[in-house]
Structure formats: structure tokens, C-alpha cells
Amino acid sequence: MPDSLTVSIDQQRTAIAACTRMFTDLKIMDHSGHVTIRLPDNSGFLIQSINASRSQLLPGDIFAVGFDGEIIDGPSGTRPAGEYPIHSEIYKVRPDVNAVLHAHPKVPILFTIAEGAKLIPVTNHAYRWRNGIPVHGDTGHIDTADLGRAMVETMGEANAVLLRAHGIVLASENIQSLLIDGIHFDRNAQAQFDASRLGTPIPMSESEFDIFESRFDRANHGIKLWHHYASTAIEAGVMPEDWRDVV
């Protein structure tokens, strides 16, 4: 029988594949981007191979790599996603983070390319980004440790950073929370964009966030949304039924 660490890593690989397929189905991810999870022993993290289809991602497409990009194990004939430093440099300095998303959703990116536009928290679930949504000015791929460190410096203690004319990076405590953060980050951007057609969007106040957060069960919300979107994905043929309860 495999030991508990092996089982956990196998489950994490499946969880990454499931989450990636759900994000793709929700149009938050497309042909590019990646979901990662910190390894249980903190020796590195799991990340998909560079050319694997996001919509058809399998557990066998996922590498275990160290924080400097060294391969621990993974599929042969390919290599980890090139922008792994986005993830590794966050994990190095943020012990509160165990899952990271890099993606390229359309609406959030608009706020990095329209003059005078600034993405702000306008919905209750955006409390997660109440301490700011910084914009990192580098429009190229973040594919070296130095570039990753520069991005992390921009990000600071925030739980999200926008990459100008490029994409988003979200940091969460686990993969269920990463799924809900990805959904709510995109919805907040869409809500602000839509509201701006009617008038000036009003940001949530600190007191409003305090009230919401005091009544919000984040862990249960993560479970609920994972089961909902997993069920939807299974019914649509997006992912196998036995992945439903992987987390």
C-alpha cells in the first residue's frame, strides 16, 4: 500500500487537473496558464507540463519541481511550464500560500490597458483583495527567478497581482479556495466593468468588508463551490466523475 505522502501527492495531481479543467470550462483559463499546489513536505510544488492541453489535463501531465525549478519527478519527453517562477517565488516568501493560479481572463486584463482604469473590490466576495490589487508593469513572460522576484515585490502581501496586458496571479491557502478566488476575482472585474456603464462603481468599504467577513464561512464556501462546479463539469463531460471528491 502506498504511504500517505504518496497518496496525498497523487490526489494533489488529480486536484490540479480537475481545477484546471473547471477554470477552462469557466473561461477563466484557456490554452495557457497554470494551477499549482505546494508539496506536502514543502520541498517544492506541482505544476503541469508546458504543452499539455488545459482542457484535457491529466494527473500524469504534472511535474513535481523544487523551488528553483529542478525536476523531482514527472512525465518524460516534456518539461514544466516555462513561467514556473511566478509560482516558485511566491511559495518561497509566502508560507500562507499553498495554491497559485496564473491565467489570462479577458475582463481583469482590461483594467491594465485602459488609461485611468483601476480594478477595485466592488463585490462582497472581493474582501479577499481589500488590501489592494497591484499591477506589475512587466508585460513579458515571467520565466526567470529574477523576474519572479520582481513580480512578488510588486505583489507584496496582497493575494492577487495583475500583470499588465498579460494576466492575473492569485494566491490562496488551498486549491478549493483557489477555485473560489478565481471565480470571484473574475466576477468582481466583470461587475465593475458592467457597473461603469451605469455610473461610477462604488468600492466596498472597510466596514462592509468587516461585516461580510464576520459572517462568511470561507472553508464551507470552498467545499460548496468545488462540488457545484465539479458536478457541472462532470455533467458536461469536461472531467471524469471519479474526480468529484478528490479534495
Q: Which tens digits make up the pLDDT trace of 67-85?
A: 999 999 999 999 999 999 9
Cell of 74: 514527472
Mean pLDDT of 27-34: 97
| Res. 1 pLDDT band, cuts 50 70 90 | very low
- As a dihedral over the C-alpha atoms of residue 1, residue 3, residue 61, residue 166, rounded to 10 degrees, the angle is 160
| Res. 218 pLDDT band, cuts 50 70 90 | very high
Q: How many CB atoms lie within 10 A of CB 145?
A: 16
Mean pLDDT of 224-229: 98
Closest-CA residue to 111 (of 20, 196, 25, 228)? 196
Residue 78: is it exposed, middle or buried by C-beta count within 10 angstroms (0-12/13-18/19+)?
middle
Alpha-carbon gap, residue 241 to 236, rounded angstroms: 11
| Res. 5 pLDDT band, cuts 50 70 90 | low
At position 95, the amino acid (one-letter code) is P
Residue 91 predicted with pLDDT over 60: yes
Who has greater pLDDT, 1 or 101?
101
| 190: Cβ contacts below 8 Å, ≥ 6 apart | 107
Q: Residues, the chain, total?
A: 247
The predicted-structure confidence for 103-117, as pLDDT tens digits, reads as follows 999 999 999 999 999
The residue whose grid cell reads 513580480 is 151
What 3-state class would DSSP assign to 139?
coil
**Regarding the domain with residue range 4-241, which homologous superfamily does it belong to in the CATH classification?**
Class II aldolase/adducin N-terminal domain (3.40.225.10)
Confirm if 68 and 88 have CB atoms less than 8 A apart: yes
pTM for this entry: 0.95
Domain assignments of the chain as residue spans, ordered by start: 4-241
Residue 6 predicted with pLDDT over 80: no
Confirm if 161 and 169 have CB atoms less than 8 A apart: yes
